[in-house]
Each structure stands twice: as C-alpha cells, then as structure tokens.
C-alpha cells in the first residue's frame, strides 16, 4: 500500500492535518496566527543549520523555530515596538537569513521550492512513519496540557490565581508549534504552514459549541482538505501544497454559508424568560 | 488537606471585625509596589480571616487591583511580603472578563475551566448563585448580571477557602448590585470562607462588609464600616459624597430572581451585618 507515492502523500498529509487542527485552534484562540507564521518563516534557517551541523533537518528546524519563539516572547517586553512590527521584522529577516545561508552553502543542491511550498508527493515511507510518530506525540502532549492551556487562554490571571502553571504550559505549547512546523514543512512548505494550522480551525468555529468539539472538527476539516487538495493536484496536475491550502480555503468559505438552525443554536436569544431585562443591564 | 482545619462555620452569628482570632488565610505585610519608577502601593497591611468579608475601597487609580494581584501572587511586591496559608484554595472573580467570540465556550465549560467536576456539581454551584438556567448558554451571550453570577458560581465550584472578587457588581444594575452583595454575604455564612472584595462604590458595599480597608496607595483608614465612614481620612478621600453616605444596613421583604421577578423572602434574614 505504501508503495504508491499518492497513498503515502495522502497518509502524510492526513497525519499532519490531524495534529495541526487542534493545535491551530489554540493559535486562533490565542491570536497567534502571525506568531506561528513568524516561527514558520524561521524554519529555513533551521534547515540551513541542520545541513551546516550535519544533524537531522527536523531537529534543526525545531531548534531554530523554538529559539525564534523565545526571542519573540522576550522582545515583546520592548514597549516601544508593537507586536505586529516585531513579527514583521522577525518573519522576513529570518527568512532572508535562511535564504542567504542556504545559498552560501554552494555544495548543497537543495530544491528551495520544496522547502518553501512543500513536496508532499516526494515523501518516503520513513517520512510517513515519522509524521505519525510526531503527530501522535504532539496530540498526546496537547491532550495532557489541554485543560491548563485552555484556562490560560480564556484568562491568564484567573488561571494563575487558581494555581495553573501558566509559564511552563505556554512554553510547551510553543514547542508543539515548533514540532508541527518541522513536519508540516514537507507537506505544504514553510510559507503555507500557517494556513494548515489556522484555516481548518476557523472553518470549524461556527459548527462548534465547545472548544473540544472545535478541535475535533478542525482536525477532520484539515484531513478533508488534504484529501480534496491531493486529488485535485493529481487530476488537474496542480502544485500539491497550494492545492491543499485552496481546498481548506474552500471549506472555510463553505462554513460561512448561512445555516439557520446551527446559527440560531450558537446564539440563542438572551435567556431571560420572564421579565424584560432592566435597562442598565447588558453589555 | 488544609481545608479541614478551618474553624467550622456553624450558623454564622458573629462577623464583627473584632473577632479576628483565627489565623488569616492571606495577609499582606508592608506591601509596596513600584511600576516604571511610579509608586503604586506603599506599605499596605491587610489580612483576611476565614468567615470574614474584607472590602478594599478607594478612588480610581488607588492601586486596588494591583493589591489584589499582589495578594494572588500574580505580581511580586517591590517590598514587603504576602503570607498565604499553605494549601490555600482561591476562587477568583477578575475585573473586566471578556470573552473572545472565536473561542466557543458554554457556561458549563467555563465552570470547569480549572477544576474537574460532575455536571450535577456544576448545576448545584450555579443554583447557589441563581444561574442554573444559564448552563448551556454561550458565555458571549450573557448579560452583565448573568456573567457575574456565573463567575461567582465558577469560583464557588472550586470550594475555595478564600473568595477574591474584584469589582463584583460591574455591569450589574442597581437592584442587582444589592442582590449580589447579599448573595456574597449568604455564601460566606453558608461556607465560612474568607472574602476579599474590591469596590469603588461605597454605600451598598459597606452594609455587606465586616472590615473596610480604605486605600489610596497607602492605607488611609481601616476598621468596621461604621468607624471608617466617620474617619476624616475617608471623608477627605471621597469628599462630599462620603458625607451623604450613611452605612446602610437594611432588610428586604423580597428579593429578585434571575429574571428580575419578585421572590418573597421567607423567613426574613437575620440581623443586618453592618457595623
């Protein structure tokens, strides 16, 4: 079964999507879309580091993206620059430094496009195995920190006052993003990773009433996007990474379609069955 | 656990501020906070014992919320220290809690944010604050008064030794305000927990308090509500408004349900709690 390149690609993509969906929900809830994107942009530098040190490329990517995340957290304390400016600086400078580093290593003949936009049709058996190992690892850790991470996401002071170790939980969360970036890179590439994290989560929002359901839905929507995108890529000869992202975007558009019953259930009328609310009350 | 050691609160009879023999749940000693070279708090002492309601009042910018953050361990003091009883379990109702619509959250799920409890326990806690009809409501759809009831229930679900309420009547209309303070008093009576409240409004909160600490960076005056309102520092801090404010212990022959409907009180409550 794994002899077929298309089956391998499908399995690899679904594995990535299953982990990226729930993790992406937290990225959406915590408003970290560009934070994640900046981490992803630094991944090429990780690839260069991996080549330069002769270590595993995935390990290099995890290391560099984690360092980038910590650097961002540290720079957040600079009160004279806003976060979006910092993210813009970090994202493009790390990507540029990565591109320069790769080009300086003249002996390397790597396919830059494969790193930037993904090359899922080239994944081998070992890649598929590694993707599933890391994806299950990410999901197990995420499940373990789910409750404290959600509490910190809803209200950090509240969570800390009630004994949730906010710092370690957040650090672990960033490490999970780094791991997902490292193995999602093969599927959609550095420049498109954020979409695989965010679009399925956004598409799941309207159909979900609890955070847990939104996470499960995001994983499923991501997997469907991979299946649709890869088939589109196969039948119309489209680039596979962009095809997957486009499929996810179409699913997101579909989720915006008016669905009277679900929409009404998500926002019931103010539940004051008896008297009209006093005029001052309300927000 | 530690919660076993607390003096069992029988029918709470005496909550006067003189009765402070128990070991405080939490105590600040000489707490000062300096942020960006700006003094926010200066040498503040404050303690909350089991079964007591301590209210911090003060004008805007007096450092009330900063004091709460220091007491909760969210902000390290620049000087002084905070003693918490080991194993202290805190239920916290923060100021200005707003919910991002992108995170789907029902009241039921909000309730179990930092604890695991059965649905029946969640319902019981909500019933205690009159919010049990809201259990399936998305948190974004709650009105101000409903939200505070739910948040109070959420804090109670933790079975706290200490309730910390930062401006609990925010977004609540005037009748709801008195109602909410009464509810807090009832909870203290029933559970024997300590309550630390922060407020910038004066008269209603005074009636529901054992001990008032009036701060404006430092402690201006402290004591039973009746004493504090007579204190010159209090009058200078709140100006003419304070003079008009009498301590206001009063009884109700009825109360209002969550929908605003009149609910008779049977039997009428015991003696008022004001000084």
Nearest-CB residue to A158 (from B94, B100, B147)? B94
* C-beta of residue A230 within 8 angstroms of C-beta of residue A122: no
Q: Give mean pLDDT, residues B155-166.
A: 90
Contact B105 A273 (CB under 8 A): no
What is the reported pLDDT for B8? 42
Strand B194-199 relative to strand B38-48: parallel, antiparallel, unpaired?
unpaired
Q: Give mean pLDDT, residues A212-241.
A: 94
The span from the CA of B162 to the CA of A169, in Å, is 25
What is the reported pLDDT for B144? 83
Q: What is the pLDDT of residues B86-129, one digit of tens each?
A: 888 999 998 878 888 899 999 999 999 888 888 899 999 999 88
Give the closest-approach CA distance of A89 to chain B in angstroms.
27
Domain boundaries, chain A: 5-257
What is the reported pLDDT for B266? 54
Least confident of A210-214, B60-64, B165-169, B228-232: B228-232
Regarding the domain delimited by A5-257, which CATH topology (the fold level of the hierarchy) does it fall under? ABC transporter involved in vitamin B12 uptake, BtuC (1.10.3470)
The span from the CA of B133 to the CA of B104, in Å, is 19
> Does the pLDDT at position A204 exceed 80?
yes
Residues of A with Cβ-Cβ distance to B143 under 8 angstroms:
270, 272, 277, 281-283
Torsion of CA A142, A143, A144, A145, to 10 degrees: 50
Residues of A with Cβ-Cβ distance to B166 under 8 angstroms:
none
Nearest-CB residue to A281 (from B91, B144, B257)? B144
Does the CB of A272 have a partner CB in chain B at under 8 Å?
A: yes
Question: Nearest to residue A267, comparing CAs of B119, B99, B221?
Answer: B99
CB contact set of B46 (below 8 Å; sequence gap of 6+): B27, B28, B31, B54, B56, B67, B71, B213, B219, B222
Strand B211-216 relative to strand B218-223: parallel, antiparallel, unpaired?
antiparallel
Torsion of CA A77, A81, A87, A89, to 10 degrees: -120
Question: Nearest to residue B49, comparing CAs of B219, B198, B193?
Answer: B193
Least confident of A216-220, B55-59, B197-201, B204-208: B204-208
Share above pLDDT 70 across residues of chain B, in percent, rounded to a whole number: 75
Q: What is the pLDDT of residues B237-263, one digit of tens each?
A: 776 555 455 454 444 455 555 555 556
What is the reported pLDDT for A274? 42
> Does the pLDDT at position B18 exceed 50?
no
* CA distances to A79, A89, A164, A191 from A48, in Å: 32, 20, 38, 16
Contact A280 B174 (CB under 8 A): yes
> Does the pLDDT at position A260 exceed 70?
no
Domains of chain B, start order: 1-6+15-89+161-250 (3.40.50.300), 97-159 (no CATH)
């Amino acid at each position: 079964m794994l002899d077929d390149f298309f089956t391998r690609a499908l399995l690899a993509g679904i594995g990535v999507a299953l982990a990226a969906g729930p993790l992406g929900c937290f990225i959406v809830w915590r408003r970290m879309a560009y934070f994640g994107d900046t981490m992803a942009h630094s991944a090429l530098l990780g690839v260069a580091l991996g080549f330069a040190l002769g270590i595993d490329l995935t390990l290099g990517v995890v290391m560099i993206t984690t360092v980038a995340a910590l650097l961002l957290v540290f720079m957040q304390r600079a009160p004279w620059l806003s976060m979006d400016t910092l993210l813009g600086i970090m994202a493009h400078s790390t990507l540029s430094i990565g591109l320069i580093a790769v080009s300086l290593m003249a002996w390397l003949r790597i396919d830059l496009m494969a790193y930037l936009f993904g090359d899922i049709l080239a994944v081998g058996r070992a890649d598929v195995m590694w993707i599933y190992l890391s994806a299950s690892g990410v999901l197990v850790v995420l499940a373990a920190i789910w409750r404290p991470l959600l509490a910190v996401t809803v209200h950090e002071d509240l969570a800390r006052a009630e004994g949730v170790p906010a710092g370690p939980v957040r650090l672990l969360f960033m490490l999970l993003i780094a791991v997902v970036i490292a193995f999602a890179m093969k599927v959609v590439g550095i420049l498109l990773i954020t979409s695989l994290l965010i679009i399925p989560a956004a598409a799941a929002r309207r159909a979900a009433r609890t955070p847990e359901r939104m996470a499960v839905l995001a994983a499923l929507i991501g997997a469907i996007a991979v299946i649709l995108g890869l088939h589109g890529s196969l039948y119309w000869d489209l680039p596979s990474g962009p095809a997957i992202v486009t499929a996810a975007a179409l699913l997101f558009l579909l989720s915006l379609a008016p669905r009277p019953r679900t929409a009404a259930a998500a926002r019931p009328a103010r539940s004051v069955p008896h008297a009209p609310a006093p005029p001052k009350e309300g927000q | 656990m530690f919660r076993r050691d607390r003096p069992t609160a029988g029918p709470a009879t005496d909550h006067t501020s003189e009765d402070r023999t128990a070991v405080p749940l939490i105590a600040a000693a000489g707490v000062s906070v300096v942020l960006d070279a700006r003094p926010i708090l200066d040498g503040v002492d404050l303690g909350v014992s089991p079964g007591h309601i301590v209210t911090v009042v003060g004008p805007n910018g007096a450092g009330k919320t900063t004091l709460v953050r220091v007491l909760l361990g969210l902000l390290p003091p620049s000087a002084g220290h905070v003693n918490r009883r080991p194993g202290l379990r805190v239920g916290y109702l923060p100021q200005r809690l707003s919910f991002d619509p992108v995170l789907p959250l029902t009241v039921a799920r909000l309730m179990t944010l930092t604890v695991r409890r059965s649905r029946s326990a969640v319902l019981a806690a909500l019933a205690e604050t009159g919010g049990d009809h809201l259990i399936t409501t998305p948190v974004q759809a709650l009105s101000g008064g409903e939200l505070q009831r739910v948040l109070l229930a959420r804090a109670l679900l933790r079975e706290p030794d200490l309730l910390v309420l930062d401006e609990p009547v925010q977004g609540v209309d005037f009748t709801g305000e008195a109602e909410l303070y009464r509810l807090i008093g009832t909870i203290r009576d029933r559970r024997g927990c300590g309550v630390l409240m922060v407020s910038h409004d004066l008269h209603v909160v005074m009636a529901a308090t054992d001990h008032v600490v009036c701060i404006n960076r430092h402690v201006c005056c402290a004591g039973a509500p009746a004493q504090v309102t007579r204190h010159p520092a209090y009058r200078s801090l709140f100006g003419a408004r304070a003079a008009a404010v009498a301590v206001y212990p009063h009884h109700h022959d009825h109360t209002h349900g969550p929908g605003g409907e009149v609910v008779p009180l049977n039997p009428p409550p015991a003696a008022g709690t004001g000084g």
